[in-house]
Amino acid sequence: MRIVVIGGGPVGQVLARRLAYHEVTLFDRPVTKPAMTLALAETTVKQLEALNIPLETGSVLQTVHVSERGVPGSMRLEASRLGLDAFGRVMCSLDLERAFQKSPSVQIDPRSVISVRARSQTRGPSVRLEDETEVTADLVCLCDGGRSPLVESLGMMPQYREFGRSAVLMRVEVSQPRMHCAFERFTRSGPLALLPLGGPRYGLVWSLPPDQAIRGVEDPETFLALAQAALGDLLGQLSAVTLPVVIPLVERWLETPYRPGIAVFGNGAQTIHPVAGQGLNLALRGVSRVVEALEGASLNDLDRRVQMGCRAWRRDRGQTRAASSLLEQVFAWHHPFRQLVSGATLSLLDHHQLAQRWIAEAGMGRYA
Ligand SMILES: Cc1cc2nc3c(=O)[nH]c(=O)nc-3n(C[C@H](O)[C@H](O)[C@H](O)COP(=O)(O)OP(=O)(O)OC[C@H]3O[C@@H](n4cnc5c(N)ncnc54)[C@H](O)[C@@H]3O)c2cc1C
């Protein structure tokens, strides 16, 4: 089968490699992306390792500490106590990109795709490139990260929900690191995550109202002081390694991420709130569902198989999107009653191994 993959981000890279037993062409126009700190679930790590992607940088994730500023009670999830080797790995997105380059099993064509046509009764799906070349295929996989108007041009109308939030990303060092441990700290302004990158280095991700986020980028010193105040002495003294950058957050999803001869994956199919660190993990679980459904498919059967794969992924998509939004919304309600309940719940969960196991496995998409 001839398969065209549009987009060579992590999702397009994994998809192209998993379908490499077909004739795959991967188009990826070069763009500069910000360095993001990604929490890769153990299921994602396993999927990447099975493709021989060398994951050498960053830190294995063995502990997750969840707390709320000014509220007693916290939860500490420890992989070893739950019978797991690790929850996954934390890695810089640019290191992940380099890891793909070190294991180049699929050639990348750097031309930009400017339009896509779905399958019609008389012809297969096709793409048109920036130099006006037309490429026909049996299946076109859109992994453009929602970064191009291709989805809309196919008549697919994404649903949007504004969070009224932006993420501020920054690399920091701390004076009292705790190895392999990530911190999720809910603050009045929004959830703040500190993800271990090895040694004293952490990736800081703080979801904030847009005006506060902009102020943070304009005045990095005050931003760091606010982050320090939010974390207290959890990890000692914070110092900046990079300047903060801001990414506006929006929830965006396609109800049916397919058309005849077309399948949409990754951020193009759904962009979710990063609070639970699930966007890429969810997307790669979707890749697995569709790749499994395509095994042994014939040309006549292709569209039905894509639909089967997307349906198998549907519950996971819905649940992960809803859970990620809910987490932010619950902690955004500043009421003493809510704080009492969430503080007590975190304390209870801290001692409840079965519930912890459930949370850890849900984070890996095992119940969807
Ligand atoms: C602040 C923040 C924190 C996050 N943290 C986590 C986390 O901890 N864990 C997690 O799992 N996820 C996380 N995510 C989500 C994760 O970053 C995304 O889900 C993931 O990067 C999406 O990958 P992708 O391949 O779909 O898109 P992208 O990485 O955006 O790649 C799309 C590619 O397509 C190319 N492209 C676009 N249009 C065209 C075209 N017309 N022709 C050719 N090429 C094209 C682009 O150049 C690009 O290379 C986070 C997101 C944010 C914003």
Q: What is the rounded distance in angstroms from the CA atom of residue 274 to the CA atom of residue 271?
A: 9
**Contact (Cβ atoms closer than 8 angstroms) between residue 47 and residue 284:** yes
CA of 345 to the centre of ligand 1 (A): 33
- Does the beta carbon of 252 lie inside 6 Å of ligand 1? no
Q: What is the rounded distance in angstroms from the CA atom of residue 356 to the CA atom of residue 351?
A: 8
What local confidence, expressed as pLDDT, does residue 367 receive? 62
CATH topology of domain 2-34+105-160+252-327: FAD/NAD(P)-binding domain (3.50.50)
Ligand 1 atom having least distance to the Cα of 283: 19
Domain coordinates of the chain in residue numbers? 2-34+105-160+252-327, 59-91+163-249+329-363
**Contact (Cβ atoms closer than 8 angstroms) between residue 168 and residue 217:** yes
**Closest residue by CA, ligand 1 atom 44:** 28
CATH superfamily of 59-91+163-249+329-363: D-Amino Acid Oxidase, subunit A, domain 2 (3.30.9.10)
- Does the beta carbon of 267 lie inside 6 Å of ligand 1? yes
Q: Which of 4-13, 65-74, 129-138 has the lowest mean pLDDT?
A: 65-74
pLDDT band at 71 (very low <50, low <70, confident <90, very high): confident
Q: What is the pLDDT of residues 309-360, one digit of tens each?
A: 999 999 999 989 888 888 778 888 888 888 888 888 888 888 888 888 888 8
pLDDT band at 368 (very low <50, low <70, confident <90, very high): low
**Contact (Cβ atoms closer than 8 angstroms) between residue 99 and residue 47:** no
- The DSSP H or E segment spanning 19 is none
Ligand 1 atom having least distance to the Cα of 27: 43
CA of 233 to the centre of ligand 1 (A): 33
Q: What is the pLDDT of residues 214-233, one digit of tens each?
A: 999 999 999 999 999 999 98
What local confidence, expressed as pLDDT, does residue 275 receive? 83
- Does the beta carbon of 12 lie inside 6 Å of ligand 1? yes
CATH fold match for the domains 2-34+105-160+252-327 and 59-91+163-249+329-363: no
Give whole-number Cα distances, 194 to 7, 73, 202, 328, in Å: 29, 18, 6, 16
**Closest residue by CA, ligand 1 atom 35:** 7
CA of 145 to the centre of ligand 1 (A): 5
- Does the beta carbon of 31 lie inside 6 Å of ligand 1? yes
Q: Is the pLDDT of residue 364 over 80?
A: no
CA of 116 to the centre of ligand 1 (A): 20
Ligand 1 atom having least distance to the Cα of 272: 15
What are the backbone angles phi and psi of residue 8, rounded to the nearest 5°? -110, 35
- Does the beta carbon of 7 lie inside 6 Å of ligand 1? yes
What local confidence, expressed as pLDDT, does residue 65 receive? 95
List of residues 6+ apart from 24 with CB closer than 8 A = 3, 4, 5, 16, 106
Mutate to test the pocket of ligand 1, among 5, 25, 38 (most ligand atoms within 8 A of CB): 38
| 44 vs 276 pLDDT, higher one | 44
Q: Is the pLDDT of residue 90 over 90?
A: yes
CA of 271 to the centre of ligand 1 (A): 9
Q: What's the pTM?
A: 0.94
The mean pLDDT of 46-74, rounded to a whole number, is 93
Q: What is the pLDDT of residues 261-286, one digit of tens each?
A: 999 999 999 999 888 889 999 999 99
CA nearest neighbour of 58 among 48, 67, 73, 68: 48
Average pLDDT in the chain? 93
Q: What is the rounded distance in angstroms from the CA atom of residue 143 to the CA atom of residue 116?
A: 13
Mutate to test the pocket of ligand 1, among 280, 288, 328 (most ligand atoms within 8 A of CB): 280
